[in-house]
Structure 1
Amino acid sequence: MRISADHVRVSVPATSGNLGPGFDALGMALGLRDELEVRAVASRTVELEIEGEGADTLPRDESHLVVQAIRAALDHVGASQTGLAIRATNRIPHGRGLGSSAAAVVAGITAARAMIAEPEALGRAEALRLATAFEGHPDNAAPAIYGGATVAWTEDGAPRAAALEVGDQIETSVLVPAATLPTKEARAVLPSQVPHTHAAFNAGRSALLVHALAGRPELLFDATEDRLHQGYRANVLGPATVLLRHLRDRGLAAVISGAGPSVLVIGEGLDAAGLGAGLPAALQGIGDSGWRAFHTVGRVAGASGEPVGV
C-alpha cells in the first residue's frame, strides 16, 4: 500500500456515550469538532502545532494519540511510515465526557485513510476495530466514525456498530463545567454487580430511547432514565449531579455525558428553554460552576478526511 496524498484535512466530532440508560452501548455525535491538517514529510520527525483545548498540556511527539493512531493505521494496511507535520485545532473539551480521546484516535485513522491509495482498506468497520484497540470499548468511537447516534457491541471479540435513526427535530445541548473528571475515576466507583431489576429497567429504557430518537421527542424524558451508573457516580460528579437534578426537575431529558462531568440534554426547543450555545444565564452558579453550552440541531456527520489541493 502506498501513500498517494501527502497533505490531508480531517474533521471529527465530539461524542457523548451512554445517553443515560445505554451504558457502554449507545452514543451520539455532537456538533463540536476538532480539525486537523496532516502533512507527510520526507523524514521520520514529528512536528505538532496545537491550538485550542490541550494546547498547553498535550505532547508534541510520537506519544500524541493522533500520531499513534496514524502509525497504527498505516501499519495495518502495510503502508510505509513517514514523517508528520500536524496542525490541530482542538475544540472538544478534554476530561469532560465528550470523547476527546476517541476523537483523537479516529482523527488519526481518518487521516491515514485519506493519505493512502486504497482508502477502502480503512473503511468504517476497520476504523472501528483499530479505534477500539486504543479505547478499549467502541461506544465513543462508533458515533465519531459513523456520525448521528449509534449502538455498539462486541461479537467474538470484535467491535460492531450500527447507525440509529435520528429525527430531524432532535436537538442536543451539552453543558460543560470548568472541572474535569478522569474516566478511570468515574469507572472506579461502579459496582461489579447490579440488581437484576436495575438491569431490566435499563434494557427497557434503552429500547425506548432508540424509538424516541427516531422522532418521538415527547418520550425522551422517560427514555433517558438510568439506574446502572449515574447514581453510583453521583458523589464524584460534583456540580454535574446538581445540574442533572435541576434539569430533570424541569422535565428536561438530561443525562451525564459519558463518564462526566458534562451534562447532555436531548429534546427539542432547547434554545427556547435557555440551553442555547454560549453561557446560559439561568444555569450559572448551579453546582457552584460556570457552564458553557454547545447546541446542535439534527444529525451530526461522522469523521471526514480528504486530500488538500487535489
Structure 2
Amino acid sequence: MSLNPALAGRSVTVQVPATSANLGPGFDTLGLALALYDQLEVSVRDEPGVFVEVHGVGEGEVPTDESNLVAQAIAHTFADYNIEMPGLTLVAHNVIPHGRGMGSSGAAIVSGIMAAKGLLEGIVQIDAEDLLRLATEMEGHPDNVAPALFGGLTIAWTTPEGPRHKKLMVHRGVSPLVFVPEHAMSTALARSLQPESVPHEDAVFNLSRSALLIAALIQSPELLLAATEDKLHQSYRAAAMPETNRLITLLRENGLAAVVSGAGPSLLVLASDPGQRLVAAELVAAASETPWQALMLAVDFTGATVTRTGA
C-alpha cells in the first residue's frame, strides 16, 4: 500500500443531515433525514497522521486524533480500497446533538465516508451501494446511515450481498418536530433493554403499522397517529427514559403522532400540518419537568453532499 500522489493538496467539504430512525413501528428499518446539518472540511497535508478540530457539539469532548469516529470512517474507506491514507486535517462544525437519538454517530460515519469519496474522486469510483455498505459495516445497522446518505424517508434492509435501501419522498404536509432533552442516552443501553423475542401478535401489530406508516408519510398524513403505534421497542425502553415516555403519552393522548427518536431520549412528533407543531410545543413546555429544546425541522431530501474545494 503506497500513498497516491494524486491526493496531494486535495480538500473537500461535506454536509450530512441529522436523522430519526424507527419512527415508531419501523424498528431498525425506517429512517427520516432532517434539515439539521453537521459540516466537515478535510484537507490533505504533507505530514502523516490526523489532526481534528471540533467546533460546536462535542468540542472538548470527542477525540481529536485518529480515534475520532470521522477519522476512523475515512480510514475504513481508504483501507477498503487498499489505498494508503495521507496525513489529514479535519475541521468539524457539529450541530447534531450527541447521544440524543438524532443519528450523530451515523452522521459522523457518513461524513468520513463521503469525505473519503471526495478525496478519492478520479482514483476510485464509490457508488451508492458501496457507500451504504461501508457505513453499515461501521454503524452495525443501516436505518440511520441510509437517510443520512440519501435523504428523504428510507426503507433499509439487509441481504446476503449487503445492505440495501429505498428512498421515498415525504408528503409536503408532514412537519417534523424534535424535542431534545439536556440528558443523553446510550444506544447500547437502549438496545440492551430489548427482549430476544416478542409475542406473535406484537409482531403482526408492528407489521401492519409499518405498512400503514409508509402510506401515511408519502400520501395520507392524517393517518400518522395510528400509523406510529409500536409494540416492539418503545415500551421496553420506557423505564430508562421516563420523562420521554410520559411526554409521548401526553402528546398521543392529544392526537399528536409522537414517538421516540432513534434510541432516544429525544422524541419526534410527525405533525400532519405546521399548526400541530405549535400545539405540541405548547404541551411539552407546559408539562415537562426539565428543559427540552423544540426543533421545528423540515425533511431533508438531498442527503449527504461532498464538494471538492482544492486540487
- Normalized against structure 1, the TM-score is what? 0.94
Aligned equivalent of 1:269: 273
Corresponding position of 1:88:
92
1:6 maps to: 10
Distance 2:103 2:279 in 1: 21
- Residue of 58, 61, 65 corresponding to 1:61: 65
Q: Give structure 2 stretches of 5+ with no counterpart.
A: none
Contact 2:20 2:262 in 1 (8 A): yes
Q: Give the direction of change, closer, same or farther, for the CA distance of 1:262–1:130 in structure 2 (3 Å limit).
A: same
Range 125-134 or range 70-79, more displaced: 70-79
Question: How far apart in 2 are the matches of 1:235 and 1:114?
Answer: 43
Report the AA paired with residue 116 of structure 1.
L
Q: Hey, what does 1:303 align to over in structure 2? A: 304
1:43-70 per-residue CA deviation (whole Å, 9 max, x = no partner) reads 2122111111111210011000100111
- Rounded Cα–Cα distance in structure 2 between residues aligned with 1:119 and 1:151: 31
Partner residue, 2:289: 288
Q: Is the 8 A contact 1:31 1:295 kept in 2?
A: no
Q: Distance in 1 between matches of 2:287 and 2:96?
A: 22
| TM-score in terms of structure 2 length | 0.93
1:161 matched to 2:165: yes
The reply on whether 1:41 has 2:45 as its aligned counterpart is yes
**C-alpha root-mean-square deviation of aligned residues, in Å?**
1.8
Equivalent position of 2:144 in the other structure: 140
CA contact (8 A) 2:176 2:296 kept: yes
Amino acid at match of 1:288: E
Q: Identity of paired residues, percent?
A: 44
Q: Is the 8 A contact 1:29 1:300 kept in 2?
A: yes
Match of 2:261 among 234, 257, 263: 257
SS at match of 1:234: helix
- Residue 118 of structure 1 and its aligned partner are, at CA, apart by 3.0
> For the Cα contact (< 8 Å) 1:238–1:261, is it kept in 2?
no
In structure 2, relative to structure 1, the CA distance for the partners of 1:77 and 1:3 (3 Å cut) is farther
Check the 8 A contact 1:5/1:115 in 2, yes or no.
no
1:20 is matched with which residue? 24
The 2-side partners of 1:153 and 1:4 are apart by 38
Count how many residue pairs are aligned between Structure 1 and Structure 2.
307
CA deviation string 1:202-258 (max 9, x = no partner)? 001100111111121101111100010111111001311111111111101111001
Identify the range of structure 1 (14-23 vs 69-78) with the bigger mean alpha-carbon deviation.
69-78
Residue 39 of structure 1 contacts residue 86 of structure 1 at CA under 8 Å; is this kept in 2?
yes
